[in-house]
Amino acid sequence: MRSIINYLKEIFGTVRALLKGMGVTGYYFVHPREIVTQQYPENRATLKMFDRFKGEVVMPHDENNEHHCTACGICEMNCPNGSIEIISKIQLTPEGKKKKVIAKHIYHLGMCTFCNLCIKTCPSNAIIMEQTFEHAVFNRAKLTKVLNQPGSKLSKGDKK
C-alpha cells in the first residue's frame, strides 16, 4: 500500500512540474518579448555582435605599419594549448646594444579556445580580440595566420 502511495505522489509531482514548465512557456507565448534570434546570413548588413563576443586574435597596426609587440613571449607562455608562436630575432640598436624584435607572431586559429588569456597577460596590449567570426575553410592550413604585417616595426613610444 505504501509503495502505491509513493508511486502516485511521484506521478502527481511529475505532472505538477510539467504543468509549471508549460505555464512558463505559455506565458512567454502570450507575452512575446523582443526577438533575439539573428536571421544569419540574410541580415549580414545589420548583424549586431555583442561586446563580449570573441572571434579571433589580431595585432593592430597604425598608419605607419607600427605595432606594440615587444616579442616578450608572455602570450605564448600563457596560451593553454599552444595556439600562439612567437619567432623573434636579435637586432643591434644604433648604440650597439642587442635588442630582441619580433620576426613572426603566428596564430593558429584552429587550435584556439578563445580563452582570452593571451590578451589579458600581454604587458604592452599588442594583441586584441576582434569580432570576426566567418572562418569556414576547406583547408585547416588557412587558419594559421601571421599577425604582424610584413615590414612592420615596434612603435616608437614602446621600449623594451
Q: Are residues 21 and 51 in the same domain?
A: no
| The C-alpha cell that represents 77 in the structure block | 607562455
**What pTM value is reported for the model?**
0.71
Q: Are residues 12 and 56 in the same domain?
A: no
Residue 153 has a pLDDT of 85
Q: What angle do CA 85, 87, 88 make, to 5 degrees?
A: 140
Task: Return the number of other C-beta atoms located less than 10 Å from residue 107's C-beta.
Answer: 24
Q: Are residues 19 and 52 in the same domain?
A: no
- Ranges of the chain with pLDDT below 50: none
CATH code, 111: 3.30.70.3270
CA pair distance 130, 134, nearest whole angstrom = 12
CA pair distance 78, 57, nearest whole angstrom = 14
Q: Are residues 80 and 15 in the same domain?
A: no
Instruction: Please give the residue range of the domain that contains residue 129.
Output: 45-154
Residue 159 has a pLDDT of 60
User: Amino acid identity, residue 130?
Assistant: E
Residue 41 has a pLDDT of 85
pLDDT in tens, 46-76: 887 888 888 899 999 999 999 999 999 999 9
CA pair distance 16, 10, nearest whole angstrom = 10
3 state SS of 74: helix
Asked whether 84 and 106 are in contact (CB, 8 A), the reply is yes
Report the chain's terminal Cα–Cα distance, integer Å.
81
Asked whether 71 and 100 are in contact (CB, 8 A), the reply is yes
